Structure 1
Amino acid sequence: MTNPQDLLQRMGNLPGPRAMTLLAEVRTESTLPFHNVTAPNWSNPGPFGAAHEWYCSMTWDQITQLQTFLKTPVAPTQTLPEALIDQTMRELGIGFYLGTFIGQGQGGSEIRMLFAYTPNMDVEEICKVWAALLQNPTPEQKPASDALTGLRQMWNAASNNSESGLMLLSEVDVDGKLADPTLFPFASIDKPR
Structure 2
Amino acid sequence: MTTVKRTFRRREPTQQRSRQTVDCVLEAVQLVVKRHGTQAITTNRIAEAAGVSVGSLYQYFPDKRAIFTALHDRHVDDVRQVIGQTTAAYASAPLQDFTGELVRGLVNVHVDAAELHEIVSSAVPEGAVGFRNALHHTFGRVLSRADERQYSVDETERMLFVLPRMVESLVHGAVHQARALSRDVVRSEAIRTVQVYVNSF
| TM-score exceeds 0.5 | no
Bigger proportion of residues as helix: 2
Structure with greater Cα Rg: 1
Bigger proportion of residues as strand: 1
Q: TM-score, normalised by structure 2?
A: 0.28
Higher relative contact order (CA 8 A, sep 6+): 1
